[in-house]
Structure 1
Amino acid sequence: MSRIHAITAICYLRSTLTASLRNRSAGARTLLCVLPFLFGTLTARAQSAAEEPFSTVITPDFGAVTWERLVAAESEPHNWLSYSGTHSSQRFSKLDAVNRYNVAQLEMKWAYQIPVIDRAETVPLVVDGIMFITEAPSNVVAVDARTGREYWRFDYQIPDDIRICCGRNNRGVALLGETLFMSTLDAHLVAIDARTGNLLWDVTVADYKAGYSKTAAPLIVKDKVITGIAGGEYGIRGFIDAYDAKTGELAWRTYAIPGEGEPGNDTWSGDSWKTGGAATWLTGSYDADLNLIYWGTGNPGPDWNGDVRLGDNLYSDSVLALNGDTGKIDWHFQFTPHDVHDYDSIQIPILADIAIDGRDRKAMLWANRNGFFYTLDRSTGEFLKGKAYATQTWAQGLDAAGRPVRVAGMAPSYEGTLVAPPIVGATNWYSPAFSQQTGLFYVTAFDGEQEFFKRDQDYEEGESFTGGGGRYLKPMDAFHSAIRAIDP
Structure 2
Amino acid sequence: MKRKLLSLLVMMAAAQVATAGVTDKMLADDATTPGDVLTWGIGTQGQRYSPLTGINEKDINRLTPVWAMSFGGEKQRGQESQPLIYNGKMFVTASYSRIFALDAKTGKKLWKYEHRLPEGIMPCCDVVNRGAALYDNLVIFGTLDAQIIALDQDTGKIVWKDKIADYQAGYSYTAAPLVVDGLVITGNSGGEFGVVGEVQARDAKTGKIVWTRPTVEGHMGYLNGKENGISGTLNATWPGETWKTGGGSTWLGGSYDPTTGLAYFGTSNPGPWNSHVRQGDNLFTASTVAINVKDGKIAWHYQGTPNDGWDFDGVNEFITFDMNGKRMGAKADRNGYFYVIDAKSGKLENAFPFVTKTTWATGIDLKTGRPNFVPDNRPGDPTAPDADGKKGKAVFAAPGFLGGKNQMPMAYSPKTGLFYVPSNEWGMEIWNEPITYKKGAAFLGAGFTIKPLYDDYIGSLRAIDPKTGKIAWEIKNEAPLWGGVLVAGDLVFWGTPEGYLKAADAKTGKEVWKFQTGSGVVAPPVTWTQDGEQYLSVVSGWGGAVPLWGGEVAKKVNFLEQGGTVWTFKVMK
**TM-score tier after normalising by the smaller chain length:** 0.7 to 0.9
1:395 corresponds to which of 361, 368, 373: 361
Paired residue total? 423
2:66 aligned partner: 109
> Equivalent residue for 1:299?
269
2:411 partner amino acid: A
Compared CA separation, residues 241 and 195, structure 1 to 2 (3 A): same
Amino acid at match of 2:191: G
Give the CA deviation at 1:63.
5.2
The answer (yes or no) to whether the contact 2:217–2:282 under 8 Å persists in 1 is: no
- The equivalent position to 1:200 in structure 2, one of 142, 153, 159, is 159
- 2:565 is matched with none
Partner residue in 2 for 1:462 = 440
What's 2:147 paired with?
A: 188
Q: How far does the alpha carbon of each residue in 1:227-260 deviate from its partner, in whole angstroms, 9 at most, with x for none? A: 0000000000110000111221111100001216
* Structure 1 residues 94 and 262: alpha-carbon distance in aligned structure 2, compared to 1, 3 A threshold: closer
Match of 1:314, SS state, is coil
SS class of match (2:375): coil
Counterpart residue identity of residue 443, structure 1: V
| Shift, 1:264, TM fit | 3.9
- Equivalent position SS for 1:273: helix
The match for 1:164 among 102, 119, 123 is 123
- Give, as a single letter, the amino acid of the residue that structure 1 aligns with 2:347: E
Change (3 A) 1:264 1:379: same
Aligned-partner Cα distance in 2 for 1:362–1:472: 37
Aligned match for 2:179, one of 211, 215, 220: 220
Paired residue secondary structure (2:376) = coil
RMSD (Å) for aligned C-alpha atoms? 1.5
Partner of 1:352: 321
**C-alpha distance in 1, partners of 2:257/2:296?**
14
Q: Which structure 2 residue ranges, 5 or more long, are not aligned? A: 1-17, 220-229, 381-391, 467-573
Q: 1:242 aligns with which of 190, 201, 218?
A: 201
- Which residue pairs with 1:286 in the alignment? 256
Distance 1:322 1:241 in 2: 11
CA distance in 1, matches of 2:120, 2:395: 34
* CA deviations over 1:285-340 (Å, ceiling 9, x no partner): 1111221111110010112x111111000000111111111110011111110101
Matching residue within 408, 428, 436 for 2:414:
436
Pick from 417, 423, 427 the counterpart of residue 405 of structure 2: 427
1:294-443 mapped onto 2 (5 Å cutoff): 294-303=264-273, 305-355=274-324, 360-390=325-355, 391-400=357-366, 401-413=368-380, 414-443=392-421
The 5-angstrom pairing of residues 112-191 of structure 1 reads 112-115=69-72, 116-191=75-150
**TM-score under structure 2 normalisation?**
0.72
Percent of pairs with identical residues: 39
Q: What secondary structure sits across from 1:160 in the alignment?
A: coil
1:482 correspondence with 2:460: yes
Segment of structure 1 superposing worse, 232-241 or 75-84? 75-84
Shift of residue 402 of structure 1? 2.2
Whole-angstrom CA distance in 1 between matches of 2:315 and 2:463: 20
TM-score by length of 1: 0.84
- Choose the corresponding residue for 1:66, options 23, 26, 31: 23
- Report deviation, 1:385: 0.5
Q: Give 1:475 shift.
A: 8.6
Q: What do residues 37-91 of structure 1 show as CA deviations (whole Å, max 9, x unaligned)?
A: xxxxxxxxxxxxxxxxxxxxxxxx6651111100111221131111111011110
Choose the corresponding residue for 1:452, options 430, 446, 460: 430
Give the Cα separation in 1 of the matches to 2:152 and 2:241: 43
Which stretch of the first structure deviates more once superposed, 286-295 or 378-387?
286-295
> How far apart are 1:143 and its partner, in Å?
0.3
- Structure 1: which 5+ residue stretches go unaligned? 1-60
Partner Cα distance (1:480, 1:446) in 2: 5
Task: Identify which range, 208-217 or 243-252, moves more after superposition.
Answer: 243-252
Q: In 2 relative to 1, CA 445–222 (structure 1 residues): closer, same or farther, beyond 3 Å? A: same
Structure 2 CA distance for aligned equivalents of residues 473 and 389 of structure 1? 19
Q: Does 1:255 align with 2:214?
A: yes
In the alignment, is the contact (CA less than 8 A) between 1:62 and 1:129 conserved in 2?
no
